[in-house]
Each structure stands twice: as C-alpha cells, then as structure tokens.
Structure 1
Amino acid sequence: MPFDAPPDSRQVWLPTEFTSLIGLPGGLRYARWDGHSPFPSDPAAVEFYVPPLVQDLGVISRPLPRMTRLRAVQALSSGTDGLETWMRRMPGRVVLCNARGVHARSTAELALTLILASLRRIPEFTRDQDLGAWQPGTSASLYGRSVLVVGYGAVGSALDELLAPFGCAVTRVARTGRDSPRGPVHHVARLPRLVASADIVVLTTALTPETHHLFDAKLLSRARDGALLVNVARGAVVDTAALLTEVRDGRLTAALDVTDPEPLPAGHPLRETPGVLITPHVGAFTSAMWPRLEALVRRQLNRFASDEGLDNIVAY
C-alpha cells in the first residue's frame, strides 16, 4: 500500500482492516484509522474517507466536522441512513457512496438460516441440549411455503435465488412495481393485502422516512396467524412494541438480525419472549466480506484518482 506519496498529495483514510490492499492508485497519500486511536493524520487534509466498519455512528462521524476538504465518503455498509444526515451538514459538495451489493449474498444467507432455524426449532433444541434433555418433535418445513420479500434489491434478489430449491411461492415487494427475472415485483402499496397471505415475511428494505415503522401494529395485525417475520434490514422498519404484542400472544414468531433499539439491552423483553430468535446484526459478517469490500474500495479509489464518477452514490 503506497504510504510514501508526497506530503501534499490528496489524503485518503482507510480502515485498519485493510492491511493488504493492493492495486491502489498512486498520487494519493494513505493512512489507516481504527475509529478509536488518535487520528493518523490531519482530518482537514482528507479528501476520501472510508470509515471503520462499526455500527456506532458516533465513531464514524467523529472526524467529519474537521474534514473541511472532504470530497467523498465510501461507507462499508449498505445502509447509510445516519451518514446521510451528516452529509447535509458538511461544507461544500461531499459524495456519499454505499456498499450496495457487497453484502447481499451473505445477508441473504443469514436470512435463509434464520428461516430454517426458526421453522425447525433449532433454538429450542439447543436449549434442550444445554439442559441434557431429549425431546423429539415435529417441526414446520420450508418446502412449498409462501414467502413475502419486502424490499427487492440486491439482498431480496439473492434470497429469492436461495429459496428456489425449496419450491417456495415467492412474492416480491418494492417501492416501485416492475418485472424481474424471477417474476413480478409488486408496488409497496399492495403490501397490506399481500402480507395477509404469506407464511414467512422477510424484510430486506432500506430504512427511510417512508419505511420507518413500516410494519406497525396495523400491518402486523394483517399477517396471518402463525406467520414468521424475519428482519435482516434495519430494526426501525418494525415497531418493536407492536411486534412484542404479537409474539407474546403467540400469534406470530420472529427471527431478527436487527432490532430497535440496537444493541438490544440486556433484559429487553424481546430477549425473553418465546418464539423470538435474535442474532446481533451479523448478516454481512462472513469470511467473504473483506475481499469484496477491498475490491469495491480499490475500484472507487481508482475512479477517484482519475476524477471519474464514483459508483453506488446515495447522497451529495
């Protein structure tokens, strides 16, 4: 990694996890930052910022008020809802890019894992194992079930592919209706009718003002009895209090990789409610993640050094 560029070169900050990144363009000066150590160089000279991959927006945003020459931020996550607010506060024009598509397959893989684990009662059997109990029983099957995918972008499309061998009847919903290679994508306005006929509802949509508490008490009440809600999107897409009411009554079950609040505090009712499976926002975190992120950052930096337009722009 070329750290020996002239002192007056354009400055780039990279996460410390990028220890072996090769193929970066010359003419830029690179530094690495872990989000906790002292700043590796003067933030005021940084023009391209790749924040650490952490969930704490306070860590990511800490140097931003001092980055007066900043031109581009390349987030390592697909969701950038918090960072978009920061971009509006920055002086001048700052381009914000996300990691759209990089985490799609890993997140879809976890969504499928959560579905199968919930249907096949894996949490219950794991607890029995810890207790030394042996209690066989019949579980639900994924084969032939109706699955509603809410948010048909990269993750939703990847999940659709993974569901194909199970013979599921997949219904797709997005902000705009359209055709896809696997079938029609319905407009979100049809969601209240579609949710009523789904055995499994999987949330893969971005968090926006329109999707905040999209699954509120009214919409959750329309889900069919016994349905499974899987959320690998953002916690605030679901009204937590409304979801708690449904799962406590045993009418719905839930498998959540994201929660609201997050991290979920110890003793929170969601942790203690039967029929709820929770993972700590790990959908993207697999062995395949860093090579894919490195490829994205390498491509973006080469475009930046050549003054070409960047990919995956979500805000200015």
Structure 2
Amino acid sequence: MSAVIAVAVPADLRALFFPSPVWSSLAELGELRVVADGDGGRLGEPRVLAELAGPADVLVTSWPCASLTGPVLDAAPRLRLVAHTGASVKPYVGHDAFARGVRVTQAGAAMGRAVGEQAFALTLALLHRVHRFDLALRTGVPWADAKASAPPRHELLGCPVGVVGASRTGRAYIELVRALGGVVTVADPYLSEAEAFDLGVTVAGLDTVLRTSRVVALHAPVLPETRRMIGARELALLPDEAVLVNTARAALIDADALLAELRTGRIDAAIDVYDEQPLPVDHPLRSLPNVLLTPHEAGGTVQARARGGGIVVDELARFLSGEPLRHEVTEDLLARVG
C-alpha cells in the first residue's frame, strides 16, 4: 500500500515550492491529497487541516497551517511525518505531535543563500545611503538638499563587518561580503578557530564586534541565550553612523531600545523581521529616514522556494525508504528555539 501524502500548501505557494519537475517527484512517492483551491486560505482552521490530513501518513505544511494539536492529530491516526516547507516549525508542531511518535523535518536550509544575498544587498544600500537618497527625492526634497541629506557613504572594500551568528545564512553572507573585500569579525560561541580560518574571519565577543564594526549583520537563531541579546547597552556600543542589518529574527533585538536608538539618527538600520507582523501602517519605524524596511521576505526568492520543495521531496523519499532524515527537528531541539 502506497503512502498517503497530504499537501497542506495553498495553490500559489504550491506553484513556487513544487514546480513541475519537483511536483512529479513528489507524486511518485505516494498518493497525493491536495488542499482544494478554495480552502487554501482556510488551512489555519483546525477543521480544514484535520479533514485534509485525516488518512495521511505524511503531511506537508506551509505557514498558513493550523497547529497540529490534539483535535487535528485525533483526526489523523496514521500520521507519521510532518515536512514543513519553511524553516521555523514551532508554530505548527509541539509536544502533542511528538508524544504520538510523529517525526518532523523542515526546509530551512533552502533559504540560506537567499537570506544571505538580501542581507548583503541591504548592507550595500545602507553603506551607500540609497534609502536616504530615495526617500529625499520621492518626498520632494530639492536636488542639492537631497545630496546633502545623508551621512558619509562608504565602500565595502576594507570595511569592518561584524556578523552575529555563523549560521547557514551568516555563512552565505560572509562569503559575499568577503568577495567584495569586507573584513569580517564573527561573534558566535560555537564557531571554532578552525572553522573561522576556513571562513576567512576573526572570532570575537559580541561587545567587541559591536564596538569595532561599521556594519553589523544579525544571523543568529533565537535561543534562550540570544533572545533580546541586543538591547540599549549593546546598541550604544555601535560607532556613530554604523549600520545594522536584521534579516534573522526580531526577538534578537529589544524593539523599544532599537526604536529609541534609531530615533536619534545616530545609526541606520535595515529590518526584515518584526515583533508585530504585519507591521502596523502607523508604526513609527515606517516614518524614519534612516531605516530601510522589507516585509519579512528575505528568503522568498524563486530559487529558494524551489529548493525548499526539493528538500521536502528528498526528506519524504528518505523517510519512506527508512533512511535517516537530514533536516529532522526533534522535540529536544524544538524546546531550545524561540
């Protein structure tokens, strides 16, 4: 009997994660149950997800999905694996699923290059004050005044760049920064000297990285020890006219402290992640000229989405053939992340 694979991914996202060749590979693994086009926007309702997952051995999820709590799991007694097309699985699975022997895997590795590239693009934009010039010209500032509206601009060549977290995205970012001549120092207690040598970076403590870098890019995971690791004291260590890039997680920074620091105009920042999402239309960050904002889309390239679907298919194939999963999230690991 072939496995039943429930695909709880709305049609628009399904087209991105599973282009034709990837979808064909998925279909070869078992009998597919796909959410109806009209129900894609209702996957956040436990009843809709339960109905789809009912006879499934494997459930493929995306971010609109409801959590797999008792009622959903009760409706899917055969469920053995959840494969998430994104990175963070904490909103979707918890103790209930693990207690019933459901295993979990995710496709976060697919986004490393995309997030690294966006962080790199934001770095260049901030260094060259592109965001300030764009705002000045769009809001009718006279030409000469627009030219004078930004702090001094800098090239990446020889620029001291601090990276907080040598994660997958951090390493992709480091590769790009070093290719253009940036001089990188990393704060990461788990990065060995040998790994640092291979990456071409120096290792230092967080305070040193903040104090000595013109650019600071955050690429750390949210763990108990990294939650709100950047507060008012840490932000004050940044040099005047430094730039801060956060494409990682909002919880790494004290949002109130960051807003207060940005309101002084002393530093510039590019932000892709927020404590409150969607970011309210009247949020004060939206009106600051020294802030460049994107709507939590750093990992959303066409290529990253297709890679994510490919990882899901590979993980399902490994699971169904009894091979070890390469991207499994255990309950112990899930408990450590924010």
Q: Name the TM-score, length of structure 1 as normaliser.
A: 0.86
Identity %: 30
Quick one: which of 42, 49, 52 aligns to 2:59? 49
Aligned 8 A contact 2:110 2:305 in 1: no
Counterpart code for 1:61: S
Counterpart code for 1:227: A
Quick one: which of 157, 160, 171 aligns to 1:146? 160
- Number of aligned pairs? 301
Alpha-carbon distance in structure 2 between the residues aligned to 1:78 and 1:39: 20
Give the drift of 1:161: 1.0
Counterpart code for 1:209: P
Bigger shift: residues 87-96 or 101-110: 87-96
The aligned residue for residue 265 of structure 1 is: 280
Q: 1:233 to 1:81 in 2, by over 3 A?
A: farther
- 1:149-298, aligned counterparts within 5 Å? 149-178=163-192, 179-180=194-195, 181-183=198-200, 186=203, 190-298=205-313
Aligned 8 A contact 2:50 2:72 in 1: no
The aligned residue for residue 147 of structure 2 is: 136
Q: Name the TM-score, length of structure 2 as normaliser.
A: 0.81
Secondary structure of the structure 2 residue equivalent to 1:67: helix
Q: Name which structure has the greater RCO, CA cutoff 8 Å, separation 6+.
A: 2
Quick one: which of 128, 132, 149 aligns to 1:120? 128
Quick one: which of 1, 4, 22 aligns to 1:11? 4
Q: 1:266 to 1:276 in 2, by over 3 A?
A: same
The aligned residue for residue 3 of structure 1 is: none
- What do residues 165-216 of structure 1 show as CA deviations (whole Å, max 9, x unaligned)? 32111012224131221235637xx212221111111011112222211112
Aligned 8 A contact 1:212 1:238 in 2: yes
Aligned 8 A contact 1:177 1:185 in 2: no
Gaps of 5+ in 1: 1-5
Quick one: which of 111, 129, 140 aligns to 2:119? 111
Bigger shift: residues 214-223 or 295-304: 214-223
Q: 1:307 to 1:64 in 2, by over 3 A?
A: farther
Q: 1:13 to 1:19 in 2, by over 3 A?
A: farther
Secondary structure of the structure 1 residue equivalent to 2:190: coil
Counterpart code for 2:32: Y
Q: 1:234 to 1:81 in 2, by over 3 A?
A: farther
Give the drift of 1:41: 4.6
Q: 1:202 to 1:72 in 2, by over 3 A?
A: same
Aligned 8 A contact 1:45 1:67 in 2: no
Counterpart code for 2:72: R
Alpha-carbon distance in structure 1 between the residues aligned to 2:86 and 2:182: 29
Secondary structure of the structure 1 residue equivalent to 2:260: helix
Give the drift of 1:299: 0.7
Structure whose residues are more often helix by fraction? 2
Give the drift of 1:140: 2.6
Q: CA RMSD in A?
A: 2.4
Give the drift of 1:26: 4.7
Counterpart code for 2:67: S
Give the drift of 1:88: 1.5
Counterpart code for 2:83: Q
Counterpart code for 1:262: Q
